[in-house]
Chain A
Amino acid sequence: MGRLMRQPRRHALPGFGLTLGVCLAWLGLLVLLPLAALVLKAAALGPAELWQAATTPRALAAYRVSFGCAALAGLVNLFFGPLLAWVLVRYRFPGRTLVDALIDLPFALPTAVAGITLTALYASTGPLGRWLEAAGWKVAYTPSGITVALVFVSLPFLVRSVQPVLETLEPDIEEAAATLGAGRLTTLWRVVLPTLWPAILSGFALAFARAIGEYGSVIFIAGNLPLVSEIAPLLIVSKLDQYDTVGATAIAVVLLAASFAALLALNLVQLWTVRRRSAEAR
């Protein structure tokens, strides 16, 4: 996608040394040096101690809560994300631009603001919570609340990864399917949806990577009960508050590995899509 760079090399552009220097200095000091501190800390501990600190019952429970709620929130958005993208691209209705702009609200709204607002809404005294609790569903201060916060945070990833694909989708195949007698639902399900899967999956991977590390929007609504509703990032913070840098480092390594795995999967999906496209073009 736009990765091609064909420029005739007529004039050597200036600034290579300067920009390289700025980049390496800034990247090195701000990103690589601190990350190296984490890697060195983990390496100094050695695998046995690291493993022990990363797999305490409390840590394991925190991973279960973080990964489980992130996956659940991703699944909710797996449905609503593409649905919103479809409605925004294909339908014309009053206020469409406004809704389109609002999709990015979770990116723009500070996470702490989202956190206290969702908590106030879903607590047993809040307008939504009162109603849901009467129906027997306690949301705030339980894993359900964590999932609600993560649905909010990860929604834009799914919408924004599917939207551009829908915008550039050629109408021919849908028309062909209709001509061949397929009903509209069949066409959507069997013709449109398969072309969207790569975009949906990469949106899911981005959303998941973000959601497992999310902190601000979650801690207010989570209840933060160890073993039950404590997320992994919060456990890092409480380890640090107790000056347990070993515990904090170990959990951070697991979380980082999980985000990198999600993003690696994303790159593989994209690679696979490009391969498939070029195979089809042949």
Chain B
Amino acid sequence: MNARKPSAALRDPAWLRWSLLALALGFVALFLVLPLVAVFGYAFEKGVAVYLASLTDPDARAAIRLTLLVTAIAVPANTVFGIAAAWLVTRFQFRGRGLLLSLIDLPFAVSPVIAGLIFVLLFGAQGWLGPWLAAHDVKIIFAVPGIVLATTFVTFPFVARELIPLMQAQGSEQEQAALTLGAGGWAMFWRVLLPKIGWGLAYGVILCNARAIGEFGAVSVVSGHIRGLTNTMPLHVEILYNEYHRTAAFAVASLLALIALATLALKQLIGWRLRKPPQRDAAA
């Protein structure tokens, strides 16, 4: 779409082009490239042996396991919700649809710390359900369920957000056709809808996953920072850093940075895929 060669009138003069480019790239180098390089630089400043030792430390391993567990619950849960919400909002007109759309976005407007706070107010020792939970010996705050809840809250909108505009633009002709040809609802879902929204869904899941792994503020409020039990990877980074184990902190941080880089690469790839005209894909 942007393949047209810009006419001479649209070209900035060379001096302007070079100065804007230098300014922009200088800013990117200072604010994006330098921190990214620094993460790995600090992680390896004492050599590979120390780096590996920091990652295989029992507390680090427990943190990695907990992060994987939390992500493995939060991401699928929000994926199911995202597909359901997108189907509901793009395929049906009903009262309260606009309200539902704004409510889906709500967690984005809430500070992570407040996301943690609301669960403390609900489930904490002084919270609304606190006494009942204590009487039944259920621990949510300062335990794994609280971390899962806070992470799920924070990553709530990602999948729905990607799918809603995509499914809106695609329309429902193919689903209608499948039903007309006698397919049942679930057959239509697995064989028609899912392949059709696949790349958009993958895009949303990747973003949701990155945030679930990296969430700090919300999790920090509900976790209680119990080493080996309720520390996720980002919380483990914080503890190591505050105890002046800088190299170890950056070693764990470098794992998180690698996940971030993989996220960016996948995002770019899927972005290209999504921008291709969908008709050609359907015909293939």
Interface residues, chain A, CB within 8 Å of chain B? Answer: 2-3, 5, 7, 10-11, 13-16, 18-20, 22-23, 26-27, 30-35, 37-38, 40-41, 80, 83-84, 86-87, 89-91, 93, 97, 99-114, 116-118, 120-121, 127-128, 151-152, 155, 167, 171, 174-175, 178-179, 184-185, 188, 209, 212-216, 220, 233-234, 236-237, 240, 243, 245, 248-249, 252, 255-256, 259-260, 263
Q: B152's closest neighbor in chain A, by CB? A: A30
Q: Is the CB of B38 within 8 A of A102?
A: no
Most buried by B among A16, A34, A101, A118: A34
Q: Is the CB of A120 within 8 A of B246?
A: yes
B220 CB, min distance to chain A CBs, angstroms: 7
Q: Is the CB of A86 within 8 A of B20?
A: yes
Chain B, interface residues (CB within 8 Å), range: 35 or more
Inter-chain contacts of B197 with A (CB < 8 A): none
Partner of B217, one of A11, A171, A215: A215
Chain B positions 62-108 with a Cβ under 8 Å from a chain A Cβ? 77, 80-81, 84-85, 87-88, 90-94, 100, 103-104, 106-107
Q: Is the CB of B121 within 8 A of A34?
A: yes
Q: Is the CB of B9 within 8 A of A27?
A: no
Partner of A110, one of B35, B42, B84, B234: B234
Interface residues, chain B, CB within 8 Å of chain A? Answer: 1-2, 6-7, 9-10, 12-13, 16-17, 20-21, 23-25, 27-28, 31-36, 38-39, 42, 77, 80-81, 84-85, 87-88, 90-94, 100, 103-104, 106-107, 109-114, 117-122, 124, 126-128, 149, 152-153, 156, 165, 168-169, 171-173, 175-176, 179-180, 185, 188-189, 207, 210, 213-217, 220-221, 233-235, 237-238, 241, 246, 249-250, 253, 256-257, 260-261, 263-265, 267-268
**How many angstroms from the CA of A127 to the CA of B16 in the assembled complex?**
31
Q: Is the CB of B241 within 8 A of A213?
A: no
Q: Is the CB of A87 within 8 A of B111?
A: no
**How many angstroms from the CA of A234 to the CA of B13 in the assembled complex?**
48
Inter-chain contacts of B92 with A (CB < 8 A): 13, 16
**How many angstroms from the CA of A262 to the CA of B262 in the assembled complex?**
32
* Known pairs A215-B216, A259-B111; A118 contacts B185 (CB<8 A): no
Q: Is the CB of A34 within 8 A of B119?
A: yes
Inter-chain contacts of B189 with A (CB < 8 A): 15
Q: Is the CB of B237 within 8 A of A112?
A: yes
Q: Is the CB of B249 within 8 A of A116?
A: yes
Inter-chain contacts of B124 with A (CB < 8 A): 245
Inter-chain contacts of A87 with B (CB < 8 A): 20-21, 24-25
Partner of A40, one of B7, B128, B168: B128
Known: A213-B114, A215-B113, A233-B112. 8 other contacts (CB 8 A): A10-B176, A108-B261, A109-B214, A113-B253, A114-B35, A118-B35, A121-B38, A252-B114
**How many angstroms from the CA of A241 to the CA of B93 in the assembled complex?**
46
A15 CB, min distance to chain B CBs, angstroms: 6
* Known pairs A34-B121, A155-B31; A113 contacts B6 (CB<8 A): no
Inter-chain contacts of B90 with A (CB < 8 A): 5
B97 CB, min distance to chain A CBs, angstroms: 10
**How many angstroms from the CA of A17 to the CA of B164 in the assembled complex?**
18
**How many angstroms from the CA of A31 to the CA of B155 in the assembled complex?**
11
B22 CB, min distance to chain A CBs, angstroms: 10
Q: Is the CB of B16 within 8 A of A255?
A: no
**How many angstroms from the CA of A112 to the CA of B218 in the assembled complex?**
12
